[in-house]
């Protein structure tokens, strides 16, 4: 073993010793560099690891303007209320806000997946004061996309080499071929040399970051089928994993359980949403009896985040997504879970890699009870899957 490899393993062992206070001790602004770039682990790809991320990442600032075509019925209700002298926008914003801190703060806190819902906004007969240009949204408009990309670029500029961020840009409401071309140009102009290109998206972390000398962003764009290796903009079709669309934790957990048992090992990035979705009944109930029912999305978020750590621990032998996506990132255990996942990963034991389609991997054998099997197969599993059989 080289001195460099020995030092890397000692550093990993030191991190592994931190348990309950682990999230506080990990430097969120450099954790990918600190944990994944040592020589012993840098051969992993984005398909082998878990990155924590944020849902509706840019909802920390929202405006009193509806996104084009986002929710026609709700838009009509709010505008009718406005004619009656009732300002219903605060209610909408309360249910649309999924994060309380800026993109830069999310990234500094350890998030490595950013979910940008984009739309092209311009004045209309219904909303003559609407701003013009690309904005983020969740029912209502957020900040201009250009400002948000500046925050991502600022993080990448300041981060040590070796950080990897995934940004997904979706929905593209109100746009056409011309405005979508403007969005692509904006992404390339703002993120520039940080874009992953000149290689495949599933290159090793070592290759993606040029030996941990660069920090990179993988941009996935909806309705785009261009060559990411040359443009730096990749098709959104590379991601798999839909959200549960449920407003209660047991049903969401049941949905996610099905995903972790079936996805992985397909060559796609596996995205797992640990998020609850409000419905009209939730909103109405909160208005009629705020002492008993949720009055904002964060009331649901607290219920979900409180149960994430226990669910993750119970499913530690599964890949909990290459992207583990949550609301209220700063108060969730998502980073701690991702770090624990990284610390259980090693070269000779692929039990925390995405499961193979055939089930011929340590995680699948461990779940099947093959660690205790007799005969040559059991001997093989115990010899090659030491962490799976002895620790995980």
pLDDT of residue 392: 54
Which neighbouring-strand residues pair with 238? none
> Using CB atoms within 10 A of its CB, is residue 189 exposed (0-12), middle (13-18) or buried (19+)?
exposed
> Using CB atoms within 10 A of its CB, is residue 218 exposed (0-12), middle (13-18) or buried (19+)?
buried
The predicted-structure confidence for 66-111, as pLDDT tens digits, reads as follows 999 887 767 777 877 777 787 888 989 999 999 999 999 999 999 9
Residue 29 has pLDDT above 60, yes or no: yes
Q: Which range, of 17-26, 123-132, 236-245, averages the lowest pLDDT? A: 17-26
Residues 6+ apart with CB under 8 A from 13: none
d(CA 171, CA 168) in angstroms, rounded, equals 10
The two structure tokens encoding residue 177: 């071929």
- Spell out the alpha helix ranges (H) of the chain: 3-17, 22-25, 31-36, 72-83, 89-96, 103-108, 145-158, 177-191, 205-208, 228-231, 249-262, 280-288, 297-314, 334-343, 362-367, 375-384, 386-390
Give this prediction's pTM.
Answer: 0.84
d(CA 140, CA 299) in angstroms, rounded, equals 20
Distances in Å between the alpha carbon of 62 and those of 140, 213, 294?
Answer: 7, 36, 20
The predicted-structure confidence for 276-325, as pLDDT tens digits, reads as follows 999 888 888 898 899 999 999 999 999 999 999 999 999 877 888 999 99
pLDDT of residue 157: 96
d(CA 349, CA 295) in angstroms, rounded, equals 46
User: What mean pLDDT comes out for the span 245-273?
Assistant: 91
For 268, the 3-state DSSP assignment is coil
Cβ atoms within 10 Å of 359's Cβ, excluding its own: 12
CATH 3.60.21.10 assigned to 3-349: no
The two structure tokens encoding residue 381: 């599993």
User: What mean pLDDT comes out for the span 62-68?
Assistant: 93
Residue 333 has pLDDT above 90, yes or no: yes
User: What mean pLDDT comes out for the span 159-187?
Assistant: 96
Q: Which residue has the higher pLDDT, 11 or 34?
A: 34
The two structure tokens encoding residue 43: 């051969």
Distances in Å between the alpha carbon of 352 and those of 292, 319, 387, 391?
Answer: 41, 6, 10, 12
CB 107 within 8 A of CB 101: no
Domain chopping of the chain, boundaries: 3-349, 356-392
pLDDT of residue 186: 98
């Amino acid at each position: 073993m080289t001195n460099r490899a020995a030092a890397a393993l000692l550093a990993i062992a030191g991190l592994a010793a931190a348990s309950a206070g682990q999230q506080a001790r990990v430097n969120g602004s450099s954790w990918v560099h600190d944990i994944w770039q040592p020589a012993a682990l840098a051969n992993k790809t984005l398909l082998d690891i878990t990155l924590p991320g944020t849902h509706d990442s840019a909802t920390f600032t929202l405006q009193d303007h509806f996104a084009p075509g986002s929710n026609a019925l709700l838009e009509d209700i709010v505008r009718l209320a406005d004619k009656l002298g009732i300002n219903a926008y605060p209610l909408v914003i309360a249910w649309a806000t999924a994060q309380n801190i800026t993109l830069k703060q999310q990234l500094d806190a350890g998030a490595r997946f950013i979910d940008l819902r984009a739309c092209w906004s311009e004045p209309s007969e219904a909303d003559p004061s609407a701003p013009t240009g690309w904005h983020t949204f969740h029912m209502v408009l957020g900040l201009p996309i250009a400002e948000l990309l500046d925050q991502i670029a600022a993080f990448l500029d300041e981060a040590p080499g070796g950080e990897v961020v995934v940004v997904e840009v979706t929905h593209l409401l109100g746009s056409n071929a011309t405005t979508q071309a403007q969005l692509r140009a904006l992404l390339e102009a703002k993120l520039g040399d940080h874009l992953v290109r000149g290689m495949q998206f599933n290159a090793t972390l070592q290759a993606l970051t040029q030996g941990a000398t660069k920090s990179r962003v993988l941009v996935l764009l909806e309705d785009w089928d261009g060559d990411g290796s040359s443009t730096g903009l990749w098709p959104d079709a590379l991601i798999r994993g839909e959200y549960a669309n449920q407003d209660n934790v047991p049903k969401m957990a049941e949905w996610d359980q099905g995903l972790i048992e079936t996805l992985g090992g397909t060559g796609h990035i596996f995205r797992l949403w640990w998020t609850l979705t409000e419905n009209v009944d939730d909103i109405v109930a909160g208005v009629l009896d705020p002492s008993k029912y949720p009055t904002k999305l964060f009331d649901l978020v607290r219920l979900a985040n409180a149960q994430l750590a226990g669910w993750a621990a119970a499913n530690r032998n599964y890949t909990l997504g290459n992207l583990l996506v949550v609301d209220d990132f700063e108060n969730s255990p998502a980073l701690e879970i991702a770090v624990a996942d990284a610390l259980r990963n090693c070269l000779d034991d692929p039990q925390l890699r995405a499961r193979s389609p055939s089930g011929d991997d340590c995680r699948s054998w461990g779940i099947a009870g093959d660690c205790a099997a007799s005969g040559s197969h059991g001997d093989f599993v115990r010899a090659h899957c030491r962490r799976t059989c002895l620790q995980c």
